[in-house]
Amino acid sequence: MRYSTIYVDSIGKWAVVDTLSDGSVLNFHGSEKEACQAADLEESRWDKLVAGAFPSAAAASG
């Protein structure tokens, strides 16, 4: 999974981080649930982007 969540003690918020961009923080959330939902949304966007850029071999050969 590319996107994950961590709790940042110093500010008391949950962060969504991009693990493939050296842990860059995308945004902060007040609850773990909100952060997990945001991470799932970003993961879904990433999956769609990759799927569009690299169609499967089966689809390409048809």
3-state secondary structure of 28: strand
Per-domain residue ranges for the chain?
3-50
- pLDDT, tens digit, 9 for 90 and up, residues 2-59: 999 999 999 999 999 999 998 899 999 999 999 999 999 999 999 998 888 877 644 5
Whole-angstrom Cα distance, residue 48 to residue 24? 21
Confidence bin at 1 (pLDDT 50/70/90):
confident
Secondary structure element (H or E) that encloses residue 6, with its range: strand 3-8
pTM metric for this prediction: 0.79
Whole-angstrom Cα distance, residue 11 to residue 52? 37
Residue whose structure tokens are 């007040």 = 30
The pLDDT value given to residue 30: 98
